[in-house]
Structure 1
Amino acid sequence: MGRGSGIRIRGKSIQISFYWRGQRFQKTLKLEPTKQNLKYAERLRSTILLEIAQGTFDPLKYFRKKEEIDEDILISVALSGWLEAVERTLSVSTFRGYRSAVNHRLIPAFGHLKMKDLTTHAIRQWIGSLTDISNKRINNLLTPLRAIYADAYQDGQIDRNPLDRIRNLPLATKEPEPFTPEEITRILDAADPISRNLFQFAFWSGLRTSELIGLQWGDVDFKKGFVSVRRAVLRGHVKETKTKSGHRDIVLLIPAREALERQMAYTFLQGPKGRVFCHPLTRKPFYMDQEIYRFWESLLRKAGVPFRNPYQTRHTYASLLLSAGENPMFVAQQMGHRDWGMIRKRYGRWIPSADPEVGKKANALWKKSEKNGDNMVTQKNG
C-alpha cells in the first residue's frame, strides 16, 4: 500500500518523500510498516502536499533538519515535483496541459541538466527552435520552468535565475471573422437535422463550443425564455464555467428557441440531466468540443463557405446583435463578460455609430442652458 506514490517501506520503517521548491525531501518514520501505519504516513504526506500547494509549508514543523536533500537537483526532478505540488490546485484541463508541457517538451530539452547549469542562452536557442507552435503555446510551456526557478532563487538554492531576461513572446490578436446572414443560411441548409439544431442554436445563443456540449435539458426554461449556462465539457470532464460572470442566464432568441424545440425529438427523453446536443452520427454526448471540428469542416465545404473555426459562431452572435442595435451591456451579459469593455474592444466596429439621432439630446441640453443664460443676462442688464 502506498508504494509508488511517495511512500516506501524501508525494512522496519516507512519513508515518505516529496518535493518543495525544487528540492527533494525524504523523511523516515520509525514505525512498523503495518496497514494502519502506512495509512498514517499517507495522511501525513497528503497534509504536507496540501500545505505546499497553499504556500503554508514550513519544514521545521515536520523536520528538525532536512534529512536528505539532493543539492544538485536535476531539472527533470524539480519539474516532476512541481507537477505533484500543483495538481490539487489546478483544473483537470489546465493540469493536463502543464503535464504535457513538462513530459513532452521541457524534460526532453532540459531534464538531463542540473538546475544550476541551465543558461539564458540555451533557453533562447530552444525557444527559437519551436517553429511548429504559437507564441501563446511557447509562453505556456515556459510557465513550469519559470515556477521552479523562481522558487529555487527565492529559497537561495541558486544565485541567478536564467529566466529573468526571458520575456513572454507577443501574442497575435486575431480579429473576429463572423459569418454573414447569407453564409449562416447556406451552412444551416447544408446541415443534417441534428447538426442544424446545434449550429442554429450556436449562432443565436453565443455559447462557447465547450458550453454548447455541456448544456443539459434542465438548464432550459422554455416558459421563462431563458437558458442557464453553468458548465463546460473539456476532454470528457465536466467543469463549472470559469468565472462568476460565466455563470449566466441568457435570453432565448427565437432562432435559438426553435433549434431547441426541434432538438427535443432526439435527446429530450433523457431527462433534466441529459445533454441537449449529441453527435450527429453516434447520437451520443460529445466527449470534447474538438469533435465538432471533424464534421464542421466538411459542412462548410459542402455549403461553399470559407473555413472559420466553430468558435466564430460566438463572434457571429455578438456581431449580429450589435449590428441590430442591441445594448452592448446586454450583449456582454449574454456572452458572460463582466462588463462591456471586451465587447467594445473586440466588436467595436459592429456597434452602430451613424445613428441619425446621435447628439440631439446633448444639443437640446445646450440650447436649454443657452436660453436660460440669455434670460439671466437680460434680467441683470435690466
Structure 2
Amino acid sequence: MGQRCRETLRVKPTKTAIKEASRKREAILFEIAMGTFDYGQHFPTSKNAIRFGKNKGALVTIEEQLKKWVRKAEKRCQHSTIRDYNSSIYYHLIPNFGHLTLDQFSTAHVYEWLDTINISNKRINNVLGPLRQALKDAYYDGLIDQNPMDRFRYLSPETREPQPFTPDEIDKILVQLDGQCRNLIQFAFWSGLRTSELIALRWQDVDLNSERVHIRTAIVRQREKSTKTVSGLRTIELQPKASEALVSQLTLNPVSERVFHDPTTGKPWLGDHIIRKRIWIPALETAGVTYRNPYQTRHTFASMLLSSGMNPMFVAQQMGHKDWGMIRKVYGRWIPK
C-alpha cells in the first residue's frame, strides 16, 4: 500500500480552479496506476517532494546545497576555516553556479568558469573544495546518482621555490630594528615558527632553563585556535639566537601572557598583516634587501639547519611536519649529500 499525502493548491477556489484541480487529480491517479508518477514534478515546493520525488536533484539548487553543507561544517571546523569557506561560497560558487539545480550541474560549468578567472591553481582548488564536499553530501543523501566533481581533478599548484635569506641579509635586516620589533624578527629567523604561532606564543609555554618552547596555539584573524595540524603541536629546541631574543624580550615584557607585543599599542599583535606593514617592509627597504614575504623566515630556519648537517627528521619535527617528506621535497637542495 502507498502512503496517503495531502497537498494544497494555493489558488482561489473558483470554478475554473476546482476543475483544474480535478484534472490534476485524475492525471496523478493515472500516473500512479502506470508507475510513472513523480511527486516532485507535480509538487516541487512540497516538503514531500524530496522524500517521494524521482528526480530529487531537480528540486535542490547548488546554492541551497552549499548553504546546507556549510551550516553542518560550522559544528566541526575552526572559525577561520568557515570564513574561508564562506568566502569561496559567496564570492565564487553561488554567483556562478548557485542558480543551477543539482541535476543540471556538470564539470562543463567549472571549465567555463575557469576561463573567466585569473587566480592561482591553489586558490582554485580551495574555492572548489566546498562545492566538492557539498555535492558529496548530496550523493550520500541520495539526491544525485554520482558526484560530478569526482570527474574534475585537482589542479597542480605552482611550485614556489624557497627564497631563504643569507646570514648577511639577516644581519642587515636586524640592524634596522630595535626593542620588541628586533626580538620578534630575530626569534622568527631562528625558531621557524609560522607568524600565527609567533603572535600566539605565551610565556607559560617558554622554558628558558631547558631552552625549549612548546607550540600549542596560533592566532588567525584575531582568534586563537590550535595549530594548523596535529603535528604542529610540538616542542622546539631553542637555537642560541632564538634564546637570546627571548631573554631580551623578557626584560621588555615580563608580565603579559603573550610573549610578543606591538610596541605602538603595548598590546599583543592582532595579526601578521600589521607586522608586515609596520615592521617587515620598512626594515627590508631600509636595509636594501630584496623583498620576500615574512614566511621566508621559516624557510631560512629550515635551510640553515639542514645546511649545517642537522638530521632532516629533527628539522621536520622542529617545523611541525608529520614526517620528513615535505622537508625532502621543499628543501632537498640544502641537505648535504
Q: Tell me the TM-score normalised to structure 2 length.
A: 0.79
**Cα distance in 2 for residues equivalent to 1:112 and 1:287:** 38
Please say if residues 214 and 236 of structure 2, whose CA atoms lie closer than 8 Å, have aligned partners that are also in contact: yes
The reply on whether 1:92 has 2:79 as its aligned counterpart is yes
Structure 1, unaligned stretches of length 5 or more? 1-22, 28-58, 60-64, 354-382
Q: What is the aligned partner in structure 1 of residue 266 from structure 2?
A: 283
Q: Shift in Å at residue 344 of structure 1?
A: 2.0
**Cα distance in 2 for residues equivalent to 1:201 and 1:156:** 53
Q: What is the aligned partner in structure 1 of residue 318 from structure 2?
A: 334
The reply on whether 1:194 has 2:177 as its aligned counterpart is no
**Cα distance in 1 for residues equivalent to 2:298 and 2:46:** 49
Aligned pairs, number: 290
Q: What is the aligned partner in structure 2 of residue 347 from structure 1?
A: 331
Name the aligned partner's letter for residue 144 of structure 1. P
Please say if residues 65 and 135 of structure 2, whose CA atoms lie closer than 8 Å, have aligned partners that are also in contact: no
Please say if residues 57 and 143 of structure 2, whose CA atoms lie closer than 8 Å, have aligned partners that are also in contact: no
User: Which sits farther off after the overlay, 171-180 or 236-245?
Assistant: 236-245
Please say if residues 136 and 171 of structure 1, whose CA atoms lie closer than 8 Å, have aligned partners that are also in contact: yes
Q: What is the aligned partner in structure 2 of residue 152 from structure 1?
A: 138
SS at match of 1:227: strand
Equivalent runs, 1:229-378 vs 2, <5 Å:
229-270=215-256, 274-295=257-278, 296-353=280-337
Please say if residues 93 and 235 of structure 1, whose CA atoms lie closer than 8 Å, have aligned partners that are also in contact: yes
**Cα distance in 1 for residues equivalent to 2:45 and 2:174:** 58
Q: Residue 252 and residue 155 in structure 1: after superposition, are their counterparts in 2 closer, same or farther (change >3 A)?
A: closer
The reply on whether 1:183 has 2:169 as its aligned counterpart is yes
* Structure having greater relative contact order (Cα 8 Å, sep ≥ 6): 2
Q: What is the aligned partner in structure 1 of residue 107 from structure 2?
A: 120
SS at match of 1:190: coil
Q: What is the aligned partner in structure 1 of residue 95 from structure 2?
A: 108
Name the aligned partner's letter for residue 344 of structure 1. R
Q: Residue 225 and residue 159 in structure 1: after superposition, are their counterparts in 2 closer, same or farther (change >3 A)?
A: closer
Q: Shift in Å at residue 235 of structure 1?
A: 0.7
Q: Residue 253 and residue 151 in structure 1: after superposition, are their counterparts in 2 closer, same or farther (change >3 A)?
A: closer
Per-residue CA distance 1:159-197 (angstroms, 9 max, x = gap): 564434322211112111100000000000012322110
SS at match of 1:249: strand
**Cα distance in 2 for residues equivalent to 1:177 and 1:128:** 31
Identity among equivalent pairs (%):
51
Name the aligned partner's letter for residue 261 of structure 2. C
**Cα distance in 2 for residues equivalent to 1:341 and 1:165:** 28
SS at match of 2:255: helix
Per-residue CA distance 1:99-131 (angstroms, 9 max, x = gap): 111111111112222222223322211122121
SS at match of 2:153: coil
